[in-house]
Amino acid sequence: MDIQFPVTIPALRVDQRLGSFYVAVLPAELLLRVCASDRMSASLNADGVGYSLEGTQRVVQDKRLSEIAAYINRVDAAFPNSIIVAANYDRETGFDQTENEDIAAEEGEQGNAVSSAWSVQMSDDGCHKLTIPSEAKLAAVIDGQHRLFSFAKANPEALQSMNLICSVFIDLPKALQAQIFATINSTQKRVDRSLTFELFGYNVSDEPEEYWTPDKLAVFFARKLATDTDSPLRGRIMVAPKRDSKLEKIAAEATWRISTAVAVDGIMRLYSSNPKRDANLMREGDAHTRGVLLEGPKDKSPLRSAYIEGNDAVIFKMVLNYLKAADNVFWENANEGSYIFRTIGVQAIFDILRKLASDAFEERNISSGYFEKILTPAKEIDFSSTEFQNASGSGRTFIRKAIENAIGI
């Protein structure tokens, strides 16, 4: 099949308690090109004919793949259930791709490069369009990897003639990918916890905090920020797949919301420049405490030492107090249409914290008053202005630079 990128297809938006995802019909061959998991991926052969599976020998030789491939080759093959993927997840860094591109732009490394992140736009007729810009493997398979990767062993005719239903989450953090996987499978059969660990490098069971990887700690903090009465983001972060009546009431009070990915990535960048690498070090062989990261590559993240030493209370208190200051300076009196409420605005606010965190930590002053004093010169900026309207990394950069110029950093 001759697949030309970018690929744009109709998608149906589905709103559920976790948040929104999109259902689309995608060719199996296209999914093979753009999907991967921590255990397995497929690559087009050099001659352009057929696919080769990559992964550990045990995984690639799994007899289930051959069994499913034999079924795919049958004339009566059918897969009515959905492949579930998380788009824009970068397996190398552990951040979502939009975050990687924003970091690259911030550091002057991206130039005018076209984004490779998946996106969804609403058409004039109210329908949604899902765009896959390139064959970069940015779709992590949450559920259905055996079904999908079996197509690499199927006959070319069967591969090229089969479409699959796909449920696509945009920018879903890895910790929630693991949670969805465990939830789906636990309703069908008992799931070996080690399987979840192997598939995602993330242990969804309770474990001592000193073993928490960067993403697990960030999700824990995001949950607290979403529910604590003291938090400016109370009810504004949708984290848990299931919400009880109390959480429903909290969410109903919010006038604006951000995705889980915005909060998780903003928090993780305070203490890790490569969450995936850190998780791999902590999970290599037996589980290791955060102290093992001292043996790994140097990381200049501002709160790196606090994370490794387990000073989680300090990290959370800094984030909470900074957000209180941001609420007083930016959110409390902003116009309803202000971009400071949007994803790009909240991302920019987290970017500023990353620049301020090191000095605050060294000066041992993480009070909301400390941060409010620094941010106050930016209070009069009108973020509802059209110059901030780009719903992408450029809009985020404009907002961040406007704040930086105002506060003199």
Q: Which DSSP category does 293 fall into?
A: G
Choose among 48, 73, 47: nearest CA to 150: 73
Rounded distance between C-alpha atoms, residue 35 and residue 267, angstroms: 27
| Structure tokens belonging to residue 188 | 């069908």
Mean pLDDT over each residue of the chain, to the nearest integer = 84
Rounded distance between C-alpha atoms, residue 360 and residue 80, angstroms: 54
- Beta-strand ranges (E) seen in 75-117 are 83-87
CA distances from 392 to 21, 264, 382 (A): 19, 18, 18
- Model pLDDT for residues 44-96, shown as the tens digit of each residue: 777 776 777 776 655 666 788 888 999 999 888 999 999 999 999 887 777 77
Q: What is the pTM of this model?
A: 0.66
Choose among 152, 164, 200: nearest CA to 83: 164
Decide if pLDDT at 174 tops 60. yes
How do the domains of the chain map onto residue ranges? Answer: 7-172, 208-407
Cβ-contact 22, 130 below 8 angstroms:
yes
Rounded distance between C-alpha atoms, residue 366 and residue 359, angstroms: 9
The neighbour count for residue 134, using CB atoms within 10 Å, is: 16
* pLDDT: which is higher, 249 or 84: 84
Backbone CA torsion sign across 43, 55, 79, 144? negative
Rounded distance between C-alpha atoms, residue 381 and residue 375, angstroms: 11
Q: What is the mean pLDDT of residues 111-130?
A: 83
| Structure tokens belonging to residue 234 | 């109370």
Cβ-contact 305, 272 below 8 angstroms:
no
What is the band of 194 on the pLDDT scale with cuts at 50, 70, 90?
very low
What is the band of 129 on the pLDDT scale with cuts at 50, 70, 90?
very high
